[in-house]
Amino acid sequence: MKTYFRLLSFAKPIGKYAVPYIICTVITVVFGTLNLALLAPLLQVLFKGTGDVDAVETVTKPEGYNMGDWFMYVADKLYYDIGPYEALKYVCIVIVASVFISNLFRYLSQRVMENLRIHTLLNLRKAVFNNVMDLHLGYFTNSRKGDVISKIASDVQVVQFSVTSTLQVAFKEPLQLIAYVVVLFALSTKLTLFSLAVIPVSAFCISLIVKKLREQAREGQQSYANMISYLDEALSGVKIIKAFNAIPFVKDRFNGESERYSKILRRMVRRQQLSSPVSELLGVVMVAIILLYGGNLVLAGEGELAASEFITYIAIFSQVMRPAKALTESFSSIHNGIAAGERVLELIDERSRVTDKPDAKPVNSFNQEIAFKNVDFAYAEKQVLKDITIEIPKGKMIALVGPSGGGKSTLVDLIPRFMDVTGGAILMDGEDIRNLQQDSLRTLIGTVNQETVLFNDTIFNNIAFAQPSATMEEVERAARIANAHDFILNTEHGYETNIGDRGAKLSGGQRQRICIARAVLRNPPIMLLDEATSALDTESEKLVQDSLYKLMENRTTVVIAHRLSTIQNADNIVVIENGRAVEQGNHHDLIAKNGLYKRLIDMQQFID
């Protein structure tokens, strides 16, 4: 229940919806019950009119508060005061009015609950997505994207339907059940006590059926998340899959998980659907028992009910199973919602390991240097960087080179605090960057990665991504510097051309130049380039490299470099091997040392 009430907290301010819902539901229940209770005077009038009931013209006013007695008194009085047909007409008008009122307020209560459901979904999805976007980069390295997508898209949907539907049932159906029981007691206390004695048997049978639903629901949602992960990987890597003739393997993996998910669903549905017919069968059995017992009393003349009242009693008792059945079905479905809710709450409870301190300072400028002081970094128990000490003066270009897996990309990711160091410190102008506000720090930094990251939007919006207020002139200027303006004009709609999912409508070189233009537009004092020209052809690389050199004038630049043409003019080259800075110096100094850098140059193995 703790999970349920926590999920329910996302419905706040719940009072805005609860008060009108309670009012509408109470009116619905009162008049819905009255609809059935009015069967008694209706049948009384009909029976008298057909001669099946002895007509005694003296009508005695009841002394107690028994609702059935009062209904009969009013029906009899109308019968003798205005005649059978007129009395029947009045009873029918009252029934129609009662049905109209009950259905009107039932509709209004459903409207209120639907608004609550949408409100809860909005709040829950916002909370999940906002928390995910605030998480540190390492979380996404260790998590499957499909699992995260499944929680945000599917699990949240399951939660909002099951939780709000259960909330609706938990208030309305018990209230309706109580109303029915009150009327039954008013009609016959003895018969109602006998009836209630067999209800626990039904509840026990249903509880056995739904016992394992929660465990199966959680298993099913995890299987669905795996399926989404396989789908995402298949769609993202379809070119490689086809190139390596791996289509059968991918199909088998996805279809195998799909079959597993289907089996889990079948087991869950079998249990959920079994509860409804079982409860209905038990309800009919109970009605039959009551009919035999109560009918025998009526026929023997020993009961306290008239024939018309007994028929009304049976009609109302038959409806008792409807709210009981709704509660049973709700109890079945809530397990699915709680299982999904636990997965969603796990994501909401996940905390970023990179957070601003309460007294974190904003930083608006970069004036001196970035310094790595004995920096260590590890993913869990895997040590990635060890005792790195580097100084990056303002306005200088620093190149990072070394064998694959040495830790170059990790080192660059530490500067904008995508992750925090696990040892040592990174200082900007003498201040530990962990004491600075992340947003203000990242405002000073422009990034171009080896992997192009573009969005399914127009070229203009992709370039102006981090600066939505940018004008067309500013975007064009950035595109010219990145050698992208000419090819953009040759696209179908120029800067308003949609580039497709992840820029699929562009070539690799074109995508990279759009990313460079995006960094140029931001115009930051610090540039981080992860082999920004790797996807360009020789001609474009030269043009873009010349533009980048102009961009890097009076700027601090850190480049992960694999090509000699990119690094030979760097002010300082840092050679990274197995997480350590094994050599530092300019190109000529490192060549003269005849060490790892010289061997890499000779082998041309600048591969990240």
The radius of gyration of the chain from alpha carbons, rounded to an integer in Å, stands at 37
Give Cα 138 distance to the centre of its chain: 21
Q: Which CATH architecture has domain 369-603?
A: 3-Layer(aba) Sandwich (3.40)
| Sheet strands (E) in 162-319 | none
The whole-number average pLDDT for the span 169-174 is 78
Specify the pTM. Answer: 0.68
Phi, psi angle pair for 406, to nearest 5° = -75, -20
Average pLDDT score over residue span 66-87: 66
Please state which CATH class domain 2-349 belongs to. mainly alpha
Contact between residue 523 and residue 553 where contact means Cβ atoms under 8 Å apart: no
Cβ–Cβ under 8 Å, residues 46 and 87: no
pLDDT in tens, 452-480: 778 888 999 989 887 878 899 999 988 88
Q: For the stretch 6-35, what's the b/e string if a residue is b when 16 or more beta carbons lie within 10 angstroms of its beta carbon?
A: ebbebbeebeebeebbeebbbbbbbbbbbb
**What confidence score (pLDDT) does residue 208 get?**
63
Residue 529 pairs in a beta bridge with: 448, 559
User: Tell me, what DSSP letter sits at residue 362?
Assistant: P
Confidence of residue 606 (pLDDT cuts 50, 70, 90): very low
What pLDDT, on a 0 to 100 scale, did the predictor assign at position 572?
A: 92
Which single residue is written with the structure tokens 């930051």? 524
Cβ(290)–Cβ(195) below 8 Å: yes
Say if CB 521 and CB 467 are below 8 A apart: yes
Mean pLDDT score, 112-129? 84
Paired with 379 in beta bridges are 382
Most confident segment among 139-153, 189-203, 252-266:
252-266
Give the integer Cα–Cα distance in Å for 68 and 316.
13
Residue 152 pLDDT greater than 70, yes or no: yes
If you search the block for the tokens 């002895």, which residue do you land on? 54
Looking at 135-212, list the stretches that DSSP marks H as alpha helix, in order from N- to C-terminal side. 137-142, 145-150, 156-187, 189-196, 199-209
Q: What pLDDT was estimated at residue 449?
A: 78
H or E stretch covering 303: none
- Strand pairing of 556-560 and 397-401? parallel
pLDDT of residue 209: 61
User: Which one, of 272, 151, 144, 150, lies nearest residue 216 by Cα?
Assistant: 272
Instruction: Quickly tell me which residue has 């020789």 as its tokens.
Output: 538
Residue 355 CB contacts under 8 Å (≥ 6 apart), including other chains: none
Structure tokens at 91: 């009873």
What is the percent of the chain with per-residue pLDDT over 70, rounded to a whole number? 77
pLDDT of 345 above 60: yes
pLDDT recorded at residue 72:
63
User: How many C-beta atoms lie closer than 10 Å to residue 439's C-beta?
Assistant: 11
Query: What is the sign, positive or negative, of the torsion defined by CA atoms of 39, 42, 45, 47?
Result: negative
Angle formed by the axes of helices 307-349 and 213-236, to 10°?
A: 50
Model confidence at 393, pLDDT cuts 50, 70, 90, reads very high
Per the model's pLDDT, the better-predicted residue between 274 and 62 turns out to be 274
Distances in Å between the Cα of 398 and the Cα atoms of 430, 526, 594, 604 are 19, 11, 20, 19
Strand partners, 382: 379
Q: Measure the CA dihedral 299/300/303/304, to 10°.
A: 80
Quick one: angle between helices 307-349 and 67-82, nearest 10?
A: 130
Q: Which tens digits make up the pLDDT trace of 192-240?
A: 877 776 666 666 666 666 556 656 777 777 787 778 777 777 776 676 6
**pLDDT recorded at residue 55:** 47
Tokens encoding 562: 């694999």
> Is 219 in contact with 264 (CB distance < 8 Å)?
yes
Q: Is 572 in contact with 396 (CB distance < 8 Å)?
A: yes
Confidence label for 12 from pLDDT (cuts 50, 70 and 90): confident
pLDDT of 258 higher than 50:
yes
| 481 touches 547 (CB < 8 A) | yes
CA distance 605 to 310: 94
Higher pLDDT, 105 or 535: 105
Q: Which residues are 530's β-sheet partners?
A: 560
Q: Which range has highest mean pLDDT (58-62, 348-352, 528-532)?
A: 348-352
Share of the chain above pLDDT 90, in %: 13
Spell out the domain ranges in the chain.
2-349, 369-603
